[in-house]
Structure 1
Amino acid sequence: MITTSIDGAVGIVTLDRPHKRNALSPAGLDELEVTIGSLDTSVIHLRGAGPAFCAGADLSAVAELDSADAREFARSGQRVANAIERSESVIVASIDGAARGGGVELALACDLRVATPEASFAETGVRLGLFGAWGGTHRLPAVVGAGNARDLALSGRTIDAEEALRMGLLSRIVDDPAEIVAAIADHDPAALATIKKRLRDDAPPEEQDRREAAAFAELVEDADLADYR
Protein backbone atom coordinates (compact mmCIF):
# COMPACT_ATOMS: atom_id res chain seq x y z
CA MET A 1 0.00 0.00 0.00
CA ILE A 2 2.95 2.33 0.77
CA THR A 3 6.28 2.00 -1.03
CA THR A 4 9.49 3.81 -0.15
CA SER A 5 12.86 4.44 -1.72
CA ILE A 6 15.83 6.68 -0.98
CA ASP A 7 17.46 8.98 -3.51
CA GLY A 8 20.33 10.78 -1.79
CA ALA A 9 18.82 13.18 0.75
CA VAL A 10 15.27 12.45 -0.41
CA GLY A 11 12.99 9.76 0.97
CA ILE A 12 10.35 8.97 -1.65
CA VAL A 13 7.04 7.81 -0.18
CA THR A 14 4.50 6.57 -2.71
CA LEU A 15 0.84 5.90 -1.99
CA ASP A 16 0.65 2.78 -4.10
CA ARG A 17 -2.93 1.65 -4.70
CA PRO A 18 -3.56 3.00 -8.18
CA HIS A 19 -6.57 0.73 -8.71
CA LYS A 20 -8.19 2.53 -5.71
CA ARG A 21 -6.84 5.96 -6.68
CA ASN A 22 -4.51 5.55 -3.68
CA ALA A 23 -7.36 5.69 -1.16
CA LEU A 24 -6.27 4.87 2.37
CA SER A 25 -7.75 2.16 4.56
CA PRO A 26 -7.13 1.95 8.32
CA ALA A 27 -4.17 -0.35 7.63
CA GLY A 28 -2.85 2.06 5.01
CA LEU A 29 -2.97 4.97 7.45
CA ASP A 30 -1.06 2.94 10.03
CA GLU A 31 1.55 2.01 7.43
CA LEU A 32 1.94 5.61 6.30
CA GLU A 33 2.37 6.84 9.88
CA VAL A 34 5.12 4.28 10.52
CA THR A 35 6.80 5.11 7.22
CA ILE A 36 6.91 8.87 7.87
CA GLY A 37 8.30 8.27 11.36
CA SER A 38 11.00 5.88 10.15
CA LEU A 39 12.62 8.11 7.53
CA ASP A 40 15.50 10.36 8.57
CA THR A 41 16.20 12.02 5.22
CA SER A 42 16.24 15.82 5.16
CA VAL A 43 13.42 15.85 2.59
CA ILE A 44 10.48 13.50 2.01
CA HIS A 45 8.70 13.42 -1.33
CA LEU A 46 5.08 12.30 -0.87
CA ARG A 47 3.40 11.25 -4.10
CA GLY A 48 0.74 8.97 -5.54
CA ALA A 49 1.08 6.10 -7.98
CA GLY A 50 -0.88 6.23 -11.22
CA PRO A 51 -3.27 8.98 -12.34
CA ALA A 52 -4.26 10.27 -8.87
CA PHE A 53 -2.48 11.65 -5.83
CA CYS A 54 -4.94 10.33 -3.23
CA ALA A 55 -8.70 9.86 -3.22
CA GLY A 56 -8.75 10.15 0.58
CA ALA A 57 -10.39 7.54 2.76
CA ASP A 58 -11.17 4.12 1.30
CA LEU A 59 -14.97 4.34 1.35
CA SER A 60 -15.40 0.58 1.13
CA ALA A 61 -13.57 0.37 4.46
CA VAL A 62 -15.43 3.33 5.95
CA ALA A 63 -18.77 1.71 5.11
CA GLU A 64 -17.90 -1.19 7.44
CA LEU A 65 -17.03 0.97 10.47
CA ASP A 66 -19.18 1.31 13.56
CA SER A 67 -19.16 4.53 15.59
CA ALA A 68 -16.16 3.56 17.74
CA ASP A 69 -14.16 2.37 14.74
CA ALA A 70 -15.06 5.52 12.80
CA ARG A 71 -13.73 7.66 15.64
CA GLU A 72 -10.46 5.69 15.63
CA PHE A 73 -10.21 5.95 11.85
CA ALA A 74 -10.49 9.73 12.11
CA ARG A 75 -7.87 9.75 14.87
CA SER A 76 -5.56 7.61 12.71
CA GLY A 77 -5.80 10.11 9.87
CA GLN A 78 -5.11 12.93 12.30
CA ARG A 79 -2.04 11.11 13.63
CA VAL A 80 -0.68 10.71 10.11
CA ALA A 81 -1.23 14.40 9.30
CA ASN A 82 0.38 15.38 12.61
CA ALA A 83 3.35 13.09 11.89
CA ILE A 84 3.81 14.84 8.55
CA GLU A 85 3.54 18.27 10.13
CA ARG A 86 5.87 17.48 13.04
CA SER A 87 8.48 15.52 11.12
CA GLU A 88 11.96 17.04 11.17
CA SER A 89 12.09 16.33 7.42
CA VAL A 90 10.76 18.88 4.98
CA ILE A 91 7.82 17.08 3.35
CA VAL A 92 6.77 18.02 -0.15
CA ALA A 93 3.51 16.72 -1.58
CA SER A 94 3.63 16.38 -5.35
CA ILE A 95 0.12 16.23 -6.77
CA ASP A 96 -0.36 14.90 -10.27
CA GLY A 97 -4.04 14.20 -10.85
CA ALA A 98 -6.82 14.09 -8.29
CA ALA A 99 -6.54 14.95 -4.60
CA ARG A 100 -9.84 14.38 -2.86
CA GLY A 101 -11.00 14.57 0.75
CA GLY A 102 -8.32 13.01 2.93
CA GLY A 103 -5.83 13.38 0.09
CA VAL A 104 -6.25 17.15 0.35
CA GLU A 105 -5.88 16.90 4.13
CA LEU A 106 -2.60 14.99 3.90
CA ALA A 107 -1.30 17.54 1.41
CA LEU A 108 -2.32 20.38 3.75
CA ALA A 109 -0.07 18.95 6.46
CA CYS A 110 2.96 19.01 4.14
CA ASP A 111 5.42 21.90 4.07
CA LEU A 112 4.99 22.48 0.34
CA ARG A 113 2.38 21.40 -2.15
CA VAL A 114 3.68 21.27 -5.71
CA ALA A 115 1.39 20.18 -8.52
CA THR A 116 1.35 19.52 -12.22
CA PRO A 117 -1.17 21.34 -14.42
CA GLU A 118 -3.30 18.17 -14.41
CA ALA A 119 -3.92 18.32 -10.64
CA SER A 120 -7.36 18.93 -9.20
CA PHE A 121 -8.72 19.26 -5.67
CA ALA A 122 -12.00 18.77 -3.84
CA GLU A 123 -13.24 18.37 -0.27
CA THR A 124 -15.81 15.77 -1.24
CA GLY A 125 -17.03 14.73 2.22
CA VAL A 126 -20.16 16.89 2.12
CA ARG A 127 -21.37 15.01 -0.99
CA LEU A 128 -21.58 11.87 1.17
CA GLY A 129 -22.99 13.49 4.29
CA LEU A 130 -19.51 13.54 5.85
CA PHE A 131 -16.57 15.97 6.17
CA GLY A 132 -12.80 15.89 6.27
CA ALA A 133 -11.80 14.71 9.74
CA TRP A 134 -8.05 14.23 9.33
CA GLY A 135 -7.32 17.74 10.59
CA GLY A 136 -8.82 19.45 7.58
CA THR A 137 -11.26 21.63 9.50
CA HIS A 138 -8.38 23.57 11.06
CA ARG A 139 -5.66 23.24 8.42
CA LEU A 140 -7.77 24.22 5.42
CA PRO A 141 -8.74 27.70 6.73
CA ALA A 142 -5.19 28.22 8.00
CA VAL A 143 -3.84 27.64 4.49
CA VAL A 144 -6.49 29.15 2.17
CA GLY A 145 -8.36 31.50 4.51
CA ALA A 146 -11.73 31.11 6.18
CA GLY A 147 -13.83 32.16 3.20
CA ASN A 148 -12.17 29.82 0.72
CA ALA A 149 -12.25 26.99 3.25
CA ARG A 150 -16.00 27.37 3.73
CA ASP A 151 -16.53 27.49 -0.02
CA LEU A 152 -14.57 24.29 -0.65
CA ALA A 153 -15.88 22.32 2.33
CA LEU A 154 -19.55 23.34 2.04
CA SER A 155 -19.85 23.09 -1.74
CA GLY A 156 -17.70 20.02 -2.38
CA ARG A 157 -16.77 21.57 -5.71
CA THR A 158 -13.67 20.59 -7.66
CA ILE A 159 -11.01 23.18 -8.44
CA ASP A 160 -8.13 22.97 -10.88
CA ALA A 161 -4.46 23.64 -10.18
CA GLU A 162 -4.62 27.30 -11.24
CA GLU A 163 -7.45 28.10 -8.82
CA ALA A 164 -5.70 26.13 -6.07
CA LEU A 165 -2.58 28.23 -6.65
CA ARG A 166 -4.55 31.48 -6.44
CA MET A 167 -6.10 30.34 -3.15
CA GLY A 168 -2.72 29.48 -1.65
CA LEU A 169 -3.50 25.77 -1.54
CA LEU A 170 -0.54 25.18 -3.86
CA SER A 171 3.01 26.48 -3.60
CA ARG A 172 3.76 26.04 -7.32
CA ILE A 173 2.58 24.47 -10.55
CA VAL A 174 5.37 22.75 -12.48
CA ASP A 175 5.74 20.00 -15.06
CA ASP A 176 7.99 17.88 -12.84
CA PRO A 177 7.59 18.28 -9.04
CA ALA A 178 10.61 16.03 -8.47
CA GLU A 179 12.84 18.86 -9.67
CA ILE A 180 11.56 21.11 -6.87
CA VAL A 181 12.11 18.34 -4.34
CA ALA A 182 15.69 17.85 -5.54
CA ALA A 183 16.43 21.58 -5.39
CA ILE A 184 15.24 21.78 -1.78
CA ALA A 185 17.19 18.65 -0.83
CA ASP A 186 20.36 20.31 -2.13
CA HIS A 187 20.33 22.70 0.85
CA ASP A 188 21.93 22.13 4.25
CA PRO A 189 19.89 19.56 6.24
CA ALA A 190 20.31 21.39 9.56
CA ALA A 191 19.11 24.65 8.03
CA LEU A 192 16.10 22.94 6.46
CA ALA A 193 15.08 21.29 9.74
CA THR A 194 15.57 24.53 11.68
CA ILE A 195 13.58 26.64 9.21
CA LYS A 196 10.71 24.13 9.26
CA LYS A 197 10.66 24.13 13.05
CA ARG A 198 10.76 27.90 13.29
CA LEU A 199 8.00 28.40 10.70
CA ARG A 200 5.79 25.90 12.55
CA ASP A 201 6.35 27.51 15.97
CA ASP A 202 3.13 28.83 17.53
CA ALA A 203 4.62 30.13 20.79
CA PRO A 204 4.02 33.77 21.86
CA PRO A 205 6.07 36.26 19.78
CA GLU A 206 8.63 37.00 22.50
CA GLU A 207 9.36 33.31 22.95
CA GLN A 208 9.57 32.81 19.20
CA ASP A 209 12.12 35.63 19.02
CA ARG A 210 14.23 34.00 21.74
CA ARG A 211 14.10 30.60 20.04
CA GLU A 212 14.84 32.14 16.66
CA ALA A 213 17.98 33.88 17.93
CA ALA A 214 19.19 30.71 19.65
CA ALA A 215 18.59 28.59 16.54
CA PHE A 216 20.39 31.14 14.35
CA ALA A 217 23.38 31.15 16.68
CA GLU A 218 23.54 27.37 16.58
CA LEU A 219 23.57 27.34 12.80
CA VAL A 220 26.22 30.08 12.61
CA GLU A 221 28.47 28.02 14.87
CA ASP A 222 28.37 25.10 12.42
CA ALA A 223 28.16 26.97 9.11
CA ASP A 224 31.11 27.18 6.73
CA LEU A 225 31.36 30.93 6.11
CA ALA A 226 35.10 31.10 5.44
CA ASP A 227 34.59 32.52 1.94
CA TYR A 228 32.82 35.55 3.43
CA ARG A 229 35.54 36.58 5.86
Structure 2
Amino acid sequence: MRTFFSRQVPLALAVAACTMLSAQAQTSSPLSSTSTSSASGWGSGRGSVLPYTQDGYIGVNGGRSNYSLSNGPAGFGLSQDDSGNAYKIYAGGFFHRNAGVELGYLNAGTSHRLGGDTKAHGFNLSLVGRAPLGEQFDVFGKIGTTYGRTRTSGLAATGVALGKEDGFGLSYGLGARWAFTPQWAAVVEWERHKFKFSDGDDSVNLTTVGVQYRF
Protein backbone atom coordinates (compact mmCIF):
# COMPACT_ATOMS: atom_id res chain seq x y z
CA MET A 1 0.00 0.00 0.00
CA ARG A 2 2.86 2.41 0.81
CA THR A 3 4.41 1.75 -2.62
CA PHE A 4 1.10 2.52 -4.34
CA PHE A 5 0.69 5.67 -2.20
CA SER A 6 4.20 6.88 -3.00
CA ARG A 7 3.55 6.45 -6.72
CA GLN A 8 0.11 8.05 -6.86
CA VAL A 9 0.82 11.22 -4.85
CA PRO A 10 3.59 12.37 -7.20
CA LEU A 11 1.33 11.53 -10.15
CA ALA A 12 -1.46 13.75 -8.85
CA LEU A 13 1.00 16.52 -8.06
CA ALA A 14 2.54 16.19 -11.51
CA VAL A 15 -0.83 16.61 -13.20
CA ALA A 16 -1.56 19.72 -11.13
CA ALA A 17 1.90 21.12 -11.90
CA CYS A 18 1.52 20.46 -15.62
CA THR A 19 -1.80 22.25 -15.74
CA MET A 20 -0.33 25.26 -13.95
CA LEU A 21 2.55 25.36 -16.44
CA SER A 22 0.01 25.08 -19.25
CA ALA A 23 -1.89 27.99 -17.72
CA GLN A 24 1.23 30.18 -17.71
CA ALA A 25 2.00 29.32 -21.32
CA GLN A 26 -1.55 30.10 -22.39
CA THR A 27 -1.50 33.42 -20.55
CA SER A 28 1.59 34.48 -22.51
CA SER A 29 0.05 33.47 -25.88
CA PRO A 30 -3.06 35.31 -27.14
CA LEU A 31 -3.97 32.49 -29.54
CA SER A 32 -3.76 29.73 -26.92
CA SER A 33 -5.64 31.93 -24.46
CA THR A 34 -8.51 32.28 -26.89
CA SER A 35 -8.59 28.52 -27.50
CA THR A 36 -8.62 27.71 -23.78
CA SER A 37 -11.33 30.30 -23.14
CA SER A 38 -13.52 28.60 -25.74
CA ALA A 39 -12.94 25.13 -24.31
CA SER A 40 -13.25 25.91 -20.60
CA GLY A 41 -15.72 28.78 -20.56
CA TRP A 42 -13.20 31.01 -18.80
CA GLY A 43 -13.75 34.68 -19.51
CA SER A 44 -17.28 34.08 -20.80
CA GLY A 45 -18.90 35.46 -17.65
CA ARG A 46 -19.96 32.10 -16.19
CA GLY A 47 -20.80 32.40 -12.51
CA SER A 48 -20.03 30.12 -9.56
CA VAL A 49 -21.53 29.22 -6.20
CA LEU A 50 -18.06 29.46 -4.61
CA PRO A 51 -16.82 32.98 -3.78
CA TYR A 52 -13.92 34.50 -5.74
CA THR A 53 -14.28 31.94 -8.55
CA GLN A 54 -15.95 31.73 -11.95
CA ASP A 55 -16.71 29.03 -14.56
CA GLY A 56 -18.48 27.22 -11.72
CA TYR A 57 -20.15 23.83 -11.67
CA ILE A 58 -22.12 21.49 -9.44
CA GLY A 59 -22.04 17.74 -9.81
CA VAL A 60 -23.06 14.34 -8.56
CA ASN A 61 -21.06 11.12 -8.99
CA GLY A 62 -21.75 7.50 -8.19
CA GLY A 63 -19.66 4.35 -8.30
CA ARG A 64 -17.70 1.93 -6.15
CA SER A 65 -15.34 2.23 -3.21
CA ASN A 66 -12.54 -0.05 -2.13
CA TYR A 67 -11.36 -0.23 1.48
CA SER A 68 -7.82 -1.43 2.27
CA LEU A 69 -8.48 -2.62 5.82
CA SER A 70 -7.59 -5.87 7.60
CA ASN A 71 -10.11 -8.48 8.70
CA GLY A 72 -8.49 -9.09 12.05
CA PRO A 73 -6.23 -11.96 13.14
CA ALA A 74 -6.09 -15.05 10.93
CA GLY A 75 -7.99 -18.09 12.10
CA PHE A 76 -11.42 -16.57 12.70
CA GLY A 77 -12.68 -17.51 9.23
CA LEU A 78 -14.70 -14.32 8.85
CA SER A 79 -15.90 -13.25 5.42
CA GLN A 80 -14.72 -9.91 4.06
CA ASP A 81 -16.01 -7.60 1.33
CA ASP A 82 -13.82 -4.53 0.82
CA SER A 83 -16.04 -2.80 -1.75
CA GLY A 84 -19.17 -0.72 -1.40
CA ASN A 85 -21.46 1.70 -3.21
CA ALA A 86 -20.10 5.25 -3.17
CA TYR A 87 -21.38 8.66 -4.14
CA LYS A 88 -20.37 12.32 -3.91
CA ILE A 89 -22.06 15.71 -4.27
CA TYR A 90 -19.85 18.71 -4.94
CA ALA A 91 -19.42 22.23 -6.27
CA GLY A 92 -16.39 23.84 -7.85
CA GLY A 93 -15.09 26.98 -9.48
CA PHE A 94 -11.90 28.42 -10.97
CA PHE A 95 -9.79 31.41 -9.97
CA HIS A 96 -7.60 30.87 -13.05
CA ARG A 97 -8.24 29.23 -16.43
CA ASN A 98 -6.50 26.08 -15.25
CA ALA A 99 -6.64 26.24 -11.46
CA GLY A 100 -9.57 26.15 -9.09
CA VAL A 101 -11.11 24.75 -5.95
CA GLU A 102 -13.76 22.12 -5.21
CA LEU A 103 -15.85 21.45 -2.10
CA GLY A 104 -18.07 18.43 -1.60
CA TYR A 105 -19.53 15.65 0.49
CA LEU A 106 -18.66 11.99 -0.13
CA ASN A 107 -19.97 8.72 1.18
CA ALA A 108 -17.70 5.71 0.70
CA GLY A 109 -20.36 3.12 1.46
CA THR A 110 -19.89 0.03 3.61
CA SER A 111 -17.15 -2.57 3.93
CA HIS A 112 -18.10 -5.89 5.55
CA ARG A 113 -15.36 -7.20 7.84
CA LEU A 114 -14.65 -8.36 11.42
CA GLY A 115 -18.13 -9.89 11.50
CA GLY A 116 -19.66 -6.41 11.17
CA ASP A 117 -19.61 -3.26 9.05
CA THR A 118 -17.17 -0.42 8.51
CA LYS A 119 -18.51 2.87 7.11
CA ALA A 120 -16.82 6.11 6.06
CA HIS A 121 -18.05 9.51 4.88
CA GLY A 122 -16.88 13.10 5.03
CA PHE A 123 -16.35 16.54 3.53
CA ASN A 124 -13.58 17.27 1.07
CA LEU A 125 -11.79 20.45 0.02
CA SER A 126 -9.40 20.20 -2.93
CA LEU A 127 -7.32 22.32 -5.25
CA VAL A 128 -8.00 21.39 -8.87
CA GLY A 129 -5.74 21.74 -11.90
CA ARG A 130 -7.14 21.13 -15.37
CA ALA A 131 -5.72 20.87 -18.89
CA PRO A 132 -8.05 21.20 -21.93
CA LEU A 133 -7.59 18.59 -24.67
CA GLY A 134 -9.92 20.26 -27.15
CA GLU A 135 -13.21 22.10 -27.39
CA GLN A 136 -15.12 19.55 -25.27
CA PHE A 137 -12.58 17.48 -23.34
CA ASP A 138 -10.25 18.15 -20.43
CA VAL A 139 -8.30 16.16 -17.85
CA PHE A 140 -7.75 17.21 -14.26
CA GLY A 141 -5.88 16.39 -11.09
CA LYS A 142 -6.76 17.32 -7.54
CA ILE A 143 -5.15 17.29 -4.12
CA GLY A 144 -6.63 18.34 -0.79
CA THR A 145 -7.97 17.13 2.52
CA THR A 146 -11.00 15.19 3.71
CA TYR A 147 -12.57 15.58 7.13
CA GLY A 148 -13.95 12.09 7.58
CA ARG A 149 -16.06 10.23 10.09
CA THR A 150 -15.99 6.45 10.38
CA ARG A 151 -17.76 3.74 12.33
CA THR A 152 -16.53 0.18 12.78
CA SER A 153 -18.65 -2.61 14.22
CA GLY A 154 -17.82 -6.30 14.55
CA LEU A 155 -16.99 -9.15 16.89
CA ALA A 156 -15.14 -8.11 20.04
CA ALA A 157 -13.50 -11.57 20.07
CA THR A 158 -11.26 -10.53 17.17
CA GLY A 159 -9.41 -8.19 19.52
CA VAL A 160 -9.61 -5.35 16.97
CA ALA A 161 -10.62 -1.92 18.29
CA LEU A 162 -14.20 -1.01 17.34
CA GLY A 163 -16.11 2.26 17.46
CA LYS A 164 -16.18 5.71 15.87
CA GLU A 165 -13.36 7.98 14.73
CA ASP A 166 -13.02 11.29 12.91
CA GLY A 167 -10.29 13.56 11.63
CA PHE A 168 -8.53 15.05 8.63
CA GLY A 169 -6.62 13.10 6.00
CA LEU A 170 -4.92 13.61 2.65
CA SER A 171 -6.93 13.23 -0.55
CA TYR A 172 -5.94 13.24 -4.21
CA GLY A 173 -7.31 12.09 -7.53
CA LEU A 174 -7.36 12.16 -11.32
CA GLY A 175 -10.17 12.41 -13.84
CA ALA A 176 -11.47 13.42 -17.24
CA ARG A 177 -14.48 15.46 -18.35
CA TRP A 178 -16.49 15.59 -21.56
CA ALA A 179 -18.70 18.66 -22.08
CA PHE A 180 -21.44 17.30 -24.34
CA THR A 181 -23.36 20.60 -24.21
CA PRO A 182 -22.31 24.11 -23.09
CA GLN A 183 -24.00 23.50 -19.70
CA TRP A 184 -23.70 19.73 -19.14
CA ALA A 185 -20.66 17.49 -18.84
CA ALA A 186 -19.95 13.83 -18.08
CA VAL A 187 -17.03 13.04 -15.77
CA VAL A 188 -15.07 9.96 -14.67
CA GLU A 189 -12.82 10.07 -11.59
CA TRP A 190 -10.48 8.02 -9.43
CA GLU A 191 -9.78 9.31 -5.92
CA ARG A 192 -8.04 8.22 -2.75
CA HIS A 193 -9.09 9.53 0.69
CA LYS A 194 -7.26 8.90 3.96
CA PHE A 195 -9.59 8.18 6.90
CA LYS A 196 -9.08 7.54 10.61
CA PHE A 197 -10.59 4.21 11.66
CA SER A 198 -10.85 2.74 15.14
CA ASP A 199 -8.12 0.22 14.27
CA GLY A 200 -5.82 2.71 12.52
CA ASP A 201 -5.54 5.19 9.67
CA ASP A 202 -6.10 3.82 6.19
CA SER A 203 -7.20 4.84 2.71
CA VAL A 204 -10.36 4.29 0.69
CA ASN A 205 -10.35 4.44 -3.11
CA LEU A 206 -13.35 5.77 -5.05
CA THR A 207 -13.96 5.12 -8.75
CA THR A 208 -17.00 7.07 -9.95
CA VAL A 209 -18.78 8.47 -12.99
CA GLY A 210 -21.12 11.43 -12.88
CA VAL A 211 -22.64 14.50 -14.43
CA GLN A 212 -21.91 18.17 -13.93
CA TYR A 213 -23.99 21.27 -14.55
CA ARG A 214 -21.88 24.26 -15.57
CA PHE A 215 -23.12 27.77 -14.85
Same fold (TM over 0.5): no
Q: TM-score, normalised by structure 1?
A: 0.21
Q: Which has the higher strand share?
A: 2
Choose between structure 1 and 2 for higher RCO, CA contacts under 8 A separated by at least 6 residues.
Answer: 2
TM-score (norm 2): 0.22
Q: Find the structure with the greater CA-based Rg.
A: 2
